[in-house]
Chains A and B, each alone.
Chain A
Amino acid sequence: MDALRTAATGMAAQQTRVDVIANNISNMSTTAYAPRKAVFADLIYRTEVNPGAISSTNGTVVPTGIQIGLGVQTSAVTMDIGQGALRQTGNDLDLAVQGRGFFEITLPNGEPAYTRDGKFEVDPDGQVVTSTGFPLADGLTVPQDARKVSISPDGEVYAYFDDAVDGQSIGNINLVSFVNERGLEALGNNLYRQTTASGEPLTGQPGNEGLGLLEQGYLEESGVDVVSEIADLIEAQRGYELNSKVLSAADEMYAAATRIR
């Protein structure tokens, strides 16, 4: 009854793919969202005749053997942390990373988390926080009387007061990179956490050590390409249907086998 189970693994795999695509499409407007992609691999093989087995006393060799595959598995759901398009907003504290790197923020429990969503705001204390209220780990505070904040591409933050022409440095924003960004754990809310797979965080000034530059007044758009997601969705749906047809064809064959007297 292997064919039934094999077809079922195919249906399960395509179902996973549809789940992943549905999540991508629902995040097509999420700032700096990294699209996910399900990657498949074939399952193990049941070897009936080894390739290269001797098939006669004359030493004839079976050229290919018989290995029956048992279906498909989802080997990974990869994350594509690439560069999304930049959208101009004009807000002083909207920051986009052009190139590699994440902003480090501090979770309420004190642990660090990482994000490429640069939609920052000032909380009542003047602290620079994410839209969910978590502070930037660089500990940036904007003075209440600042007229304007200017952030340079390499992360220097200046505040302008009253009618002063020159800005006053109030700190800087660093970026963090990981050897394997795809190994980060997604926490939701556009946040990621370091894992063994991602490697240690490497903090640096924007523009140095392979890190990208900051773009003030811009936000990074979602990396989801809706057209290719829909194409993928149709493919997944057809794949699911085909596997279900294999399932019924195999079922009919087994039904015929049980009719025999």
Chain B
Amino acid sequence: MMGDNSITSLPRQSGLLETAQIIANNIANASTPGFKAEGPIFAEYVSASANRQPSTSIGHLVGHSTDFSGGAFEKTGNTFDFGIEGDGFFKVTTPGGDRLTRAGVFQLDPNGMIADAMGNTLQDEGGSAIQIPPDAVSIAVARDGTLSVDGEIFGNVGVFEPIGEMERAGANQWVALDGDRLKGDATILQGFVEQSNVSPVLEFAKLISAQRLYEAGQTMAEQEHDRLSSLINAIRQQG
């Protein structure tokens, strides 16, 4: 079939462009607390053609995987900076519903509730906001999430895990599509913020490889174009 070469390379080329976008987003978020890097997944279409022609295999982008490995912890010493060691997410209440996040940069809102930079309140294990008394002198969070005010147990910081798949919501947040459940054995570090797990060097290597593959694809398309035009020219001269 004429043009098979060009057609099969198209989804691969656009997939490589999207790969560049995913990598660009990873690198742009290399300083975003709790950010998790993404990688593209390519798969092959095999379409069984009619008329006993050989089938055509096309590589294309089917999805992307998220690298949930932990980022490095930066020590800030701030009372309301929390990091989660290992798996699990903090849950915040937003106008759009509950969201999960690994970005543990919190502060107090005007009502004394622990909230993120956008004012979304942090939930405890029972799903309620945590209100700190205004005259509190010392606030300590133990590794198991127990929050104490001036030496007395006051509440806890909830750590949750999604039940099914998650969708990214932006602003360091995720939506658990099938809900979430409490994660019993989580470890919280007070005064630490989890950094992005993006490895800029690795991402850059991937970007260069995507760029080269893309250029190779373009060259192939150009050569195919030349081959076809010389074929057409030859046929025309025969006639």
Q: Which residues in A have some Cβ–Cβ distance to B below 8 Å?
A: 2-3, 6-7, 9-10, 13-14, 17, 37, 39-45, 47, 49-52, 62-73, 75-76, 78, 80, 82, 99-100, 177, 179-180, 182-183, 196-199, 202, 209-210, 235-236, 238-239, 242-243, 245-246, 249-250, 252-253, 256-257, 259-261
When chains A and B are docked, how far (Å) is the Cα of A51 from the Cα of B178? 11
The reply to whether the CB of B86 lies closer than 8 angstroms to some CB of chain A is no
User: B238 in the interface, Cβ–Cβ < 8 Å?
Assistant: no
Q: How many Å from the CB of B76 to the closest CB on chain A?
A: 8
Given A243-B28, A260-B221, A67 contacting B167 (CB threshold 8 A) = yes
Interface centre among B18, B21, B177, B214 (most CB of A within 10 A): B21
Shortest distance in angstroms between A12's beta carbon and chain B's nearest beta carbon? 9
A179 lies within 8 A of B166 (CB): no
Interface string of B48-91 (1 = CB under 8 A from A): 00000000000001111110000000001110000000000000
By beta carbon, the residue of chain A nearest B132 is: A179
In the complex, what's the smallest C-beta–C-beta distance from B22 to chain A, in angstroms? 7
Complex interface: chain A residues within 8 A of B207 (CB): 246, 249
Is B227 on the interface with A (CB-CB < 8 A)?
Answer: no
Q: Which residue of A lies closest to B112 (CB)?
A: A179
B24 at the interface (CB under 8 A from A): yes
Chain B contacts of A17 at CB under 8 A?
31
Structural contact, A10 and B28, CB atoms closer than 8 A:
yes
Q: In the bound complex, do residue B20 and residue A253 qualify as a contact, i.e. CB atoms below 8 Å apart? A: yes
User: Are A238 and B200 within 8 A (Cβ)?
Assistant: yes
Please give, as numbers and ranges, the residues of chain B lying within 8 Å of A14 by CB-CB distance: 31
- Is B218's CB under 8 angstroms from A259's CB? yes
**Contact of A10 with B109 at beta-carbon distance under 8 Å, contacts A63-B165, A75-B171, A259-B222 already known:** no
How distant is the Cα of A82 from the Cα of B107 in the complex, in angstroms?
Answer: 13
Q: Cβ of B27 and Cβ of A82 under 8 Å apart?
A: no
Question: Does B109 contact A239, Cβ atoms closer than 8 Å?
Answer: no
Shortest CB distance B102–A (Å): 11
| Chain A positions within 8 Å of B108 at CB level | 179-180, 182
**B3 interfacial by beta-carbon distance below 8 Å:** no
> Nearest-CB distance from A253 to chain B (Å)?
5
Does chain A have a CB within 8 A of B147? no
| B33 partner residues in chain A, CB cutoff 8 A | 39-40
Given contacts A180-B108, A260-B221, A100 and B137 within 8 Å (CB-CB): yes
Is B225 at the interface (CB under 8 A from chain A)? yes
Question: In whole angstroms, what is the CA distance A35 to B112 when docked?
Answer: 22
Known: A235-B31, A245-B204. A78 touches B105 (CB 8 A): yes
Cross-chain contact A256 with B109 (CB below 8 angstroms): no
